[in-house]
Chain A
């Protein structure tokens, strides 16, 4: 239902600048998507630049019961930024005026629209690091990362976004401006609302400022590559490294299909008869990681690697990681639609999960490529398909369900880092029993009595199921 003209007028008055309130058709259609599936057109987009604007707009929306969907740069993979019930999209991407690095406190204070990679770049200038590194970090906003609790390859050693958020300023669904947490590492005063907001996918409020923890930047890195002729064996190799007392900064994985895709796209000299390749990065003090690299090298050989290679120069290291980076474009060339799942299993179950994925691939006769962060159990099974082929998409829907089932069987979870959003909400009852889910809904009800904040997300309605057509 389109907004009443007087509501639009009120919003323009709040924002004060007409060009930050978008109501033209071409504009609205441009805010109907993110990097996931689905397309929903909002009734109005406002590009906010300060907390008062957000608070006033939400108060108005709460009064008039207009749905609100927060949005950063819409690079999310689960539909968090999709305005599925229309209403107002609050775009924070222009609000990037604050990016302070406090070296002595080892924290960063940032506006919601600051680009994730810019935080790490600013930290680097004073020898610090902001570790979360989702592959979209050059475009994603920090508020989007916090709302979705984004991960990334470095998650293996350093954890994910939630491990670095110390405090937040949030506008609640009733328009109140609140603060959670603070500037200290230790803080047990009251309920930990910071952790509640992180990963709440925009359903509990709008993040308007964040205080982030920074850590000393590791001085050096060494990378290794190990080739396996059996995918499950590669899984054991990962487990062996992780139980050896060494914690690499990244362990990335490529299966045979992704090796082939890369080699036919831009030959990088990867062994095409191999079933799996592991890329391992160690970081820390140069002397320490030299020892660790030798140890990992031998461990790989002992676990049955066909070939192990250590990057001796930074050129070699760069080339090694380039092969890994090429997987995405290489597989995308093959078929137009890529369904990227991020079901995650406990580390010990990586070999079993790989086995189950192979079975799913055969059973449903789908093109399944597995690559990504392996060391943290967050394998990324990607299904390659064509959105325009309805029959194929039906098969894909079934295969996605089977992947979730396998992950949960093995003690894992539906989503490691992308979030539930729209696509996975119908699977929530598979992971949670009635009362566990009920407690979450009660929290939502308490925060957002009128259900205006990102409605239609994360909780299934009766009869909801995954539809990719």
Chain B
């Protein structure tokens, strides 16, 4: 175990030599803006990784600033030396994970292992979670919980997230293995749809709308059977081996049929899928398969923009767009979502002052580091309020939930709503999740 901890750390430290310490990353880093010390900057973290590898600090000491990093990778985008910060972060997290496995309590180890190994990757558990949320929302329990006397029993943190949750997956509805024909006069592409775990459970409706829109622009859509979670949550927690397992399974099931594209509507998942090859260095067979796979991965905005979506309604909203960090910094998809928003008649589009600043969602960062996440969210919300927009568009489930939390936190429900790009587009072409089933 100890050996593995050091192997990861050493590999990470090798990447730090590319850093020339120019500091250009500082203004891009959300934790620098909110925590205000060099320790919480990309440059600072890179330095500390080297310090740990050289034995000046322990892995435990290193884990504090590393855990506080959102992994948004905005720093990579501005780095003049092309530091592979994301890769370094994964390796360091791997090292920390091995270290903590040795030192943490058996119960904690079991719980964490269980969640990563069995909860997110499991369709049946995620479906049950979705169903539970659905019953909770539809049955009136949510309303009861939110009534004055009871609300005070709900911790502030849960209350906010609860307000953000909407439209979970109804029970007994199965999407896996379904095929949806193109409904355009000119069938264009055959695409596979990647559902994602959180997306499918919590924002099921958005997945359905995505499929509808793809059908509308001429895609035959296949929801490939037996697909699993993309593995990002595992990898970002330092569970590289688990992430590899997920990746292999996804590559296998999507290889079973020939597709033009593998489409998803979750910026974070798409980024992970596009970096599957990074997991298989030194394994030529899987590296090749991962490369083949990743070439086909595309965000839904790219496909819709490419095929041209016919819009039917005028929407008079004032819209701003909060790009998903991994969409911008990893997938490098920035123009298409804005182009789609601006193509809707009646919409007034206002770009954020700092669109590339993370919203503080960071996968499950907002659950683990609630306070820090909320500080980053505050900065984002003030930028959003300055635009005077009444609709915030996002392209990733984590960001969408965080924006909803932001709206709840600032009591802005009457003025602003947060939607996924797909929801806005569906509204503009009068597509609902129920037609064409």
Contacts and interface: CB of A to CB of B under 8 A. Distances in A.
B82 A136 contact: no
A261 to B, nearest CB: 13
A26 B62 contact: yes
Interface residues of A, number: 31
B37 A35 contact: no
A255 to B, nearest CB: 19
Contacts of A33: 21, 47
B48 interface: yes
Interface string B14-36: 00011011111011000000001
Interface in B42-72: 44, 47-48, 51, 56-57, 61-62, 64-65
B387 interface: no
Contact of A73 (B26, B65, B81, B82): B26
Given A29-B57, A30-B44, A74-B38, A332 B20 contact: yes
Given A25-B61, A26-B48, A333-B82, A31 B38 contact: yes
B39 interface: yes
Contacts of B51: 29
A26 B64 contact: yes
B48 A338 contact: no
A319 B216 CA distance: 38
B17 A26 contact: no
A259 B37 CA distance: 38
Contact of B48 (A29, A35, A136, A388): A29
Contacts of B20: 35, 332, 338
Contacts of B23: 34-35, 73-75, 136, 139-140
B431 to A, nearest CB: 37
A139 B37 CA distance: 14
B187 interface: no
B24 A138 contact: yes
B80 interface: yes
B61 A329 contact: no
Nearest to B51: A29
A140 to B, nearest CB: 8
Given A73-B26, A138-B27, A30 B39 contact: yes
Contact of B82 (A25, A138, A329): A329
B37 A27 contact: yes
Nearest to A75: B23
A336 interface: yes
Contact of B36 (A94, A136, A328, A338): A94
B51 to A, nearest CB: 5
Contacts of B47: 29-30, 32-33
Contacts of A343: none
Given A25-B57, A33-B47, A329 B80 contact: yes
**Which among B20, B37, B82 has the greatest number of chain A C-beta atoms within 10 A?**
B37
Contacts of A388: 17
B37 A30 contact: yes
A332 B81 contact: yes
Contacts of B64: 26
A387 interface: yes
A182 B21 CA distance: 35
B78 to A, nearest CB: 9
A332 B83 CA distance: 10
B170 to A, nearest CB: 47
Contacts of B61: 25-26
23 contacts: A25-B61, A26-B57, A26-B61, A27-B37, A29-B56, A30-B38, A30-B44, A31-B38, A33-B21, A47-B36, A74-B23, A91-B38, A115-B27, A136-B24, A138-B27, A139-B22, A139-B24, A139-B26, A332-B18, A332-B80, A332-B81, A332-B82, A388-B17
Q: Which 4 A-B pairs have the closest CB atoms?
A: A30-B38, A30-B44, A30-B39, A332-B81
